[in-house]
Amino acid sequence: MKRHTIGVAGLTAALLLAPAHSAFAGGPVDKGTTNTRKNTGLKDDTLYAAVSYDTSKNGSGSSVGHVSATGTSWTPPACWLAPKWTAKQFAKQTESDFKNVTTDPNQPNYAKNATNEFREKYKDGEYKNYNLDKQDDGMWWGAVENPNAPILDRTACNSTLPFWVENGRTPRVKNAISPEILAGLAYEQIKVPGTEVTLAPSGPTKVNLATWAWLDKGDFKPVSVTASITAPGLNMQATTVAKPVSLKLQPGTEDAETYPASGDCAINDDGSIGEPYVTGKADVTPPCGIKYLRSSDGGTFKLQATVTWEITWTGTGGTGGGLPDGTFGNDQDVRVQEAQAVNH
């Protein structure tokens, strides 16, 4: 399958003055994400390109949030190419855009000429009559934007003109929808619980006394989101899974020590983090905790507890792999008093 790219600079310039729904350049650009579980039957005005998400196994609750990729410049896909129109839909859209632009007195001639050039390509040029005689044999593919991506990044696919793909085939072109792209979009939808840790001994934390920190096993478990796209001859999906692997404690002041020294507390085999404090262990070094070396002077320190989540994915055709680890955390206030002050 050939990849068709724009060859006339004026065609791109014409876009700036044409209506937002114009079929110039990359063709009509769909905002391609939806939270629906499943795409239903196609109507005359329905585009196939929307990605569906199954979030039934996602994190829940009032404190949930999206993970942030760490240690990398990776970001979820900003755009992709996907099946969008039947032949009838594409013909209807292009003819409507042609009429709207060419009959608009406010459109300059070069915009009208560009619209005519686009229409000519698919009606009487390289393609014949929008491939209406192949209505049941294939789909028109085009650019889809991720509405969550930066505006400038979304346009990376828009120079690709709509192209015809037979049902059951995936074109070998850059940015064509793939399980890996779906996995990246699912990553963007992942939500994980907040991380307010339990601290003990109870009451205000005391200077130079180790404070135990932990999270119960019921609080943290793997979550997942499945992204899918369905069209004639194309049924593709990917499931992205986030698994908690460690908790990082940042005391909120340099005058503190963490346990372990790195501040990274590993996940236990049962899914818990750290170990609950038991009376009588005040002088025992905790497996996960903090020791503040000075008081908070009547105020509080902002303890930051951040969980790192390992991200992996599996997809259609036995595909799969890893994605950048993600982090999500919360701040909580910790009041620290001098030990002698507590006795007064």
DSSP-derived secondary structure letter, 20: T
Strands (E) in the chain, as ranges, are: 30-31, 52-54, 65-66, 68-69, 79-85, 138-145, 163-166, 191-192, 198-200, 205-206, 211-215, 223-231, 234-250, 256-259, 264-266, 273-274, 289-292, 301-315, 319-334, 336-337
Show Cβ contacts of residue 242 under 8 Å, excluding neighbours closer than 6 positions.
67, 190, 192, 222, 223, 224, 309, 310, 311, 326
Q: Would you write out the chain's pLDDT as a tens digit for each of its 344 residues?
A: 333 332 222 333 333 333 333 333 334 444 555 443 333 334 445 566 789 999 999 988 778 999 999 889 999 999 999 999 999 999 999 999 999 999 999 999 999 999 999 999 999 999 999 999 999 999 999 999 999 999 999 988 988 999 999 998 889 999 999 999 999 999 999 999 888 889 998 788 999 999 999 988 766 789 999 999 998 889 999 999 999 999 999 999 999 999 999 999 988 888 888 999 998 888 899 999 999 999 999 899 999 999 999 999 999 999 999 999 999 998 999 999 997 644 43
User: In one letter, which amino acid is 339?
Assistant: A
**CA gap 213, 273 in Å, rounded:** 8
Q: What is the pLDDT of residue 169?
A: 87
Q: What is the pLDDT of residue 341?
A: 45
Token digits of residue 148: 């969550």
Q: What is the pLDDT of residue 40?
A: 31
Q: What is the pTM of this model?
A: 0.82
